[in-house]
């Protein structure tokens, strides 16, 4: 089932290449149909998932490059389950929203389906070499999506995105190879099996270097302050679909990477990094909110809001307690839905007016009431209104943060307030007021296709806000296992060097 979810989009992408260039409508329907089938298959993972188990489920393992201990090894646990579902859920929505793309349609769909395979593979890979392959596969489609279908500065944004991400990735590759070398030194066999590498005994100083290599790659992807500078350019220049997937899924690869790899593999280094990561997270929360507040461009405002929201995710994760990490994973899903919807909403008015400047709008409530209503719910979801999905994640993160570090929690609260300020102010300037610009009087409200795009997103915002239990229950055991692995391993490494002399002293006397 997992392999079908991963490779069905790639198979469809290859088949698209054999279609005639003129068959754009057929290509769109085919790609959308395959994306929907992939989502339906992924629902089988949810239905058959056993929430009472912490172990990986639906595991598939086949030798790949056996002489070097490399396997095609995939599986799903409570942490990756909903991220997989988020990916398969967003891709058909993005493809439906991309009906306005009219240049090189077949190639556009090809890169999106290829990107889906890369993202899904990275989320379920349990072999570090396989993970790295999927990690790199994600970069190329997004590079082309930004560089070919992006805005005026698309080439600059695409190259910046690629360079930033590849620099971190190369260091991570060196660390992965060193882990395989360590396993060979300790156990006499080379392997990239993540579950076996969890058992390595790594000196603390070595852990610090390896953690730094992994953390840099993931921090760039998040992006964690101050590694965020590529993100606004990539978001602003990417096509609407690219921005949605970038915010909805690709940024979560960084936070997921920390939780799946960096923390359990290098627990001592992770604990040593807590003050630094918490400080950078809080800075990112406040900085992202303040910069978002002064943006004149709608899309750039939403892009900087991601820096702030992902700061919350990192803060909850490095609280190292159940509430913080559960809130962190939940907020990954919330951000993907709410911020993805915000980018889609920006794309709707941009297609009609070809401007993203906030000053070019105003008074849209009278002209586009359905659009304004959808925008209102999405905006309130983003700022964490109780009853909507954003509140649950932020509440759990703040609980975990105050439990771990009162000062970090106290400063992070200001990010919640600032988030409400810049979102409400943006909404007031775009939606309310007088309809001053003549061009806005010709705007049409949401079409049936656009209503179909936003309906499932709004439904999820309500469901996750009013009834989070089914999501949290399925995450719980896997989060507990990750926490136990980190704490237990740290305890072992700390206790091992200590000599127990009392019995010997008594004997000598």
DSSP per-residue string spanning 61-122:
EEEEEGGGTEEEEEEE-HHHHHHHHHHHHHHHHHHHHGGG--SSHHHHHHHHHHHHHHHHHH
380, 83, 134, 315 alpha-carbon torsion, rounded to 10°: 60
How far from the centroid of its chain's Cα atoms is residue 115's Cα? Answer: 14
pLDDT category at 222 given cuts 50, 70, 90 is confident
What's the pLDDT at 85? 93
- Alpha carbon distance 218, 17 (integer Å): 33
Mean pLDDT for the stretch of residues 180-186: 87
Model confidence over 353-369: pLDDT tens digits?
888 888 888 888 888 88
Shortest CA distance to 281 belongs to which of 406, 420, 401, 418?
401
Is the confidence at residue 21, as pLDDT, over 80? no
Which backbone phi and psi does 227 adopt, to 5 degrees?
-95, 25
The strand pair at 57-65 and 70-76 is best described as antiparallel
Report DSSP state, residue 258: I
Q: Are 435 and 363 in contact, with CB atoms under 8 Å apart?
A: yes
Model confidence over 233-269: pLDDT tens digits?
888 888 888 888 888 888 888 899 999 998 898 888 8
Tell me the CA distances in angstroms from 473 to 50, 315, 469, 507, one per residue in order. 10, 22, 6, 53
pLDDT category at 488 given cuts 50, 70, 90 is low
Is the confidence at residue 70, as pLDDT, over 60? yes
pLDDT category at 92 given cuts 50, 70, 90 is very high
Shortest CA distance to 220 belongs to which of 162, 278, 143?
162
Model confidence over 111-147: pLDDT tens digits?
999 999 999 999 999 999 999 999 988 888 988 888 8
- Alpha carbon distance 383, 372 (integer Å): 16
- Alpha carbon distance 95, 316 (integer Å): 32
Shortest CA distance to 124 belongs to which of 157, 94, 82?
82
Q: Which structure tokens are listed for 39?
A: 């989502």
Is the confidence at residue 507, as pLDDT, over 60? no
Mean pLDDT for the stretch of residues 394-400: 90
Model confidence over 370-386: pLDDT tens digits?
999 999 999 999 888 88
Instruction: State the alpha helices, DSSP H only, in 294-435.
Output: 298-317, 322-353, 364-367, 369-382, 389-404, 406-431
pLDDT category at 506 given cuts 50, 70, 90 is very low
- Alpha carbon distance 344, 366 (integer Å): 20
List the single range of 226-230, 294-298, 321-325 with lowest mean pLDDT.
Answer: 226-230
Mean pLDDT of the chain: 86
Q: Which structure tokens are listed for 14?
A: 């290859």
Model confidence over 326-335: pLDDT tens digits?
999 999 999 8
pLDDT category at 93 given cuts 50, 70, 90 is very high
- Alpha carbon distance 233, 162 (integer Å): 12
Q: Are 464 and 334 in contact, with CB atoms under 8 Å apart?
A: yes
Q: Which residues make Cβ contacts (< 8 Å) with residue 507, sequence separation at least 6?
A: none
DSSP SS3 for 357:
strand
- Alpha carbon distance 399, 259 (integer Å): 19
DSSP SS3 for 216:
helix
pLDDT category at 490 given cuts 50, 70, 90 is low
Shortest CA distance to 275 belongs to which of 404, 105, 365?
404
What's the pLDDT at 489? 58
Is the confidence at residue 495, as pLDDT, over 70? no
Angle (deg, nearest 10), helices 298-317 and 230-237: 130
How far from the centroid of its chain's Cα atoms is residue 234's Cα? Answer: 15
Mean pLDDT for the stretch of residues 179-198: 86
Q: Which residues pair with 70 in a beta bridge?
A: 65
Q: Are 140 and 128 in contact, with CB atoms under 8 Å apart?
A: no
Q: Which residues make Cβ contacts (< 8 Å) with residue 251, sequence separation at least 6?
A: 221, 222, 223, 231, 306, 310, 335
Sign of the CA dihedral 487, 492, 497, 501?
positive
Model confidence over 33-64: pLDDT tens digits?
999 999 999 999 988 988 888 888 888 888 88
Model confidence over 291-300: pLDDT tens digits?
988 888 888 8
pLDDT category at 509 given cuts 50, 70, 90 is very low
- Alpha carbon distance 218, 168 (integer Å): 8
Outline where DSSP puts E strands in 100-255: none
């Amino acid at each position: 089932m997992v392999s079908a979810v991963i490779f069905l989009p790639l198979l469809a992408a290859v088949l698209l290449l054999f279609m005639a260039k003129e068959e754009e409508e057929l290509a769109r329907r085919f790609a959308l149909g395959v994306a929907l089938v992939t989502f339906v298959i992924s629902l089988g993972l949810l239905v058959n998932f056993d929430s009472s188990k912490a172990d990986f489920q639906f595991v598939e393992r086949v030798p790949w490059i056996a002489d070097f201990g490399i396997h095609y090894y995939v599986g799903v646990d409570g942490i990756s389950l909903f991220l997989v579902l988020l990916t398969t859920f967003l891709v058909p929505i993005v493809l439906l929203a991309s009906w306005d793309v009219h240049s090189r349609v077949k190639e556009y769909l090809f890169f999106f389906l290829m990107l889906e395979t890369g993202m899904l593979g990275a989320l379920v890979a349990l072999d570090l070499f396989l993970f790295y392959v999927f990690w790199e596969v994600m970069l190329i489609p997004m590079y082309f999506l930004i560089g070919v279908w992006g805005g005026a500065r698309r080439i600059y944004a695409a190259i910046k995105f690629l360079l930033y991400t590849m620099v971190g990735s190369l260091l991570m590759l060196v660390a992965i190879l060193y882990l395989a070398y360590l396993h060979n030194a300790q156990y006499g066999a080379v392997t990239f099996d993540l579950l076996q590498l969890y058992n390595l005994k790594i000196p603390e100083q070595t852990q610090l270097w390896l953690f730094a290599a992994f953390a840099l790659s993931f921090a760039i992807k998040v992006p964690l302050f101050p590694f965020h500078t590529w993100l606004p350019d990539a978001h602003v220049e990417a096509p609407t679909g690219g921005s949605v997937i970038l915010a909805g899924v690709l940024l979560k690869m960084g936070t997921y990477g920390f939780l799946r790899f960096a923390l359990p593999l290098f627990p001592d280094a992770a604990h040593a990094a807590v003050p630094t990561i918490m400080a950078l997270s809080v800075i990112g929360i406040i900085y992202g909110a303040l910069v978002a507040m002064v943006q004149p461009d709608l899309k750039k405002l939403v892009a900087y809001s991601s820096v702030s929201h992902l700061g919350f995710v990192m803060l909850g994760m490095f609280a190292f307690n159940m509430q913080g990490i559960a809130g962190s994973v939940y907020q990954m899903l919330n951000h993907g839905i709410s911020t993805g919807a915000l980018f889609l909403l920006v794309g709707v008015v941009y297609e009609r007016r070809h401007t993203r400047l906030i000053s070019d709008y105003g008074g849209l409530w009278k002209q586009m009431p359905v659009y304004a209503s959808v925008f209102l719910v999405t905006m309130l979801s983003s700022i964490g209104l109780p009853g909507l999905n954003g509140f649950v994640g932020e509440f759990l993160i703040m609980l975990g943060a105050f439990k771990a570090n009162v000062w970090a929690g106290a400063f992070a609260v200001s990010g919640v307030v600032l988030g409400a300020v810049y979102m409400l102010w943006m909404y007031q300037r775009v939606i309310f007021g007088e309809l001053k610009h003549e061009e806005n009087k010709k705007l049409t409200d949401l079409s049936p296709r656009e209503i179909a795009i936003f309906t499932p997103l709004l439904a999820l915002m309500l469901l996750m806000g009013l009834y989070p239990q089914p999501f949290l229950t399925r995450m719980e055991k896997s989060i507990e296992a990750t926490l136990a692995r980190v704490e237990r391993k740290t305890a072992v490494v700390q206790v091992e060097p200590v000599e127990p002399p009392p019995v010997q002293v008594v004997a000598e006397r």
